[in-house]
Amino acid sequence: MHGIHFSARQIAFLSVMGALSFILDFFHFPISIPGSHGIYWVIPIIFGAGVVKKLGSATYIGFIAGILIGSAGLEAIGPFAFLEYLLMGFVIDLLALAFRGYMKNVIVGFVIGSAGNLSKLAAHYSLFIVLGMSKMHLILIGFGVAMISYFIFGGLGGVITSILLRGCERYLQSALTSLSGQPVKQMKK
């Protein structure tokens, strides 16, 4: 049987990252800017993809987070929130594949975080239109304004994640080796 295989440790770690994304959905900045929660949303997804380093890891995290958030009814679109997080994980997976080996670069982190957060925004507005929850012209005006803040806050979350990944490589090498299954360079003393 060929394909993507995750070890039990990797599945446990990715599930914890999905649950962390769910938990971080409760934290809010004291400002009312659309997309400001993107800092929290993208960190566990990018971090999990950067640690496990297998295609499908971010999608799995998005799947777990989406199931938890959708079943808890935390979003206005209810159980359809699952699709937002699944799409965000899928986009992050594709970009992690494209930037393989450069996930610790802050510019790459910004790009991946922004794209992930923008994909969540696109899925959110698409679901609002499909479900008939708002008027089309109002959505398009709000979409243009929200796009900028989603881009910035998602990018900031990606930068934070790239810094975390750099720190994990340095201090948690044994955990990284057991999760990714790949040997990590020896730390200089």
CA distances from 6 to 31, 108, 179 (A): 39, 25, 9
What is the residue-level pLDDT of the chain in tens, covering all 189 positions?
445 688 888 899 999 999 998 888 777 667 777 777 888 889 999 999 998 888 999 999 999 998 998 888 766 667 778 888 899 999 999 999 999 888 899 999 999 999 999 998 888 878 777 777 665 555 566 667 788 888 999 999 999 999 998 888 766 556 655 555 565 555 454
Contacts of 122 (CB under 8 A, 6+ apart): 87
- Rounded Cα–Cα distance for residues 146 and 127 (Å): 16
Give the domain ranges of the chain. 8-25+33-180
What would the two tokens of residue 176 be?
Answer: 């990284």
DSSP letters spanning 87-107: HHHHHHHHHHHHTTT-TTSHH
Alpha-carbon distance 177 to 175, whole Å? 5
Fold held by 8-25+33-180: Arp2/3 complex 21 kDa subunit ARPC3 (1.10.1760)
* Residue whose C-alpha is closest to residue 90's, from 56, 50, 123: 56
Distance from C-alpha of 117 to C-alpha of 147, rounded to nearest angstrom? 9
Asked whether the whole model's pTM tops 0.95, one would answer: no
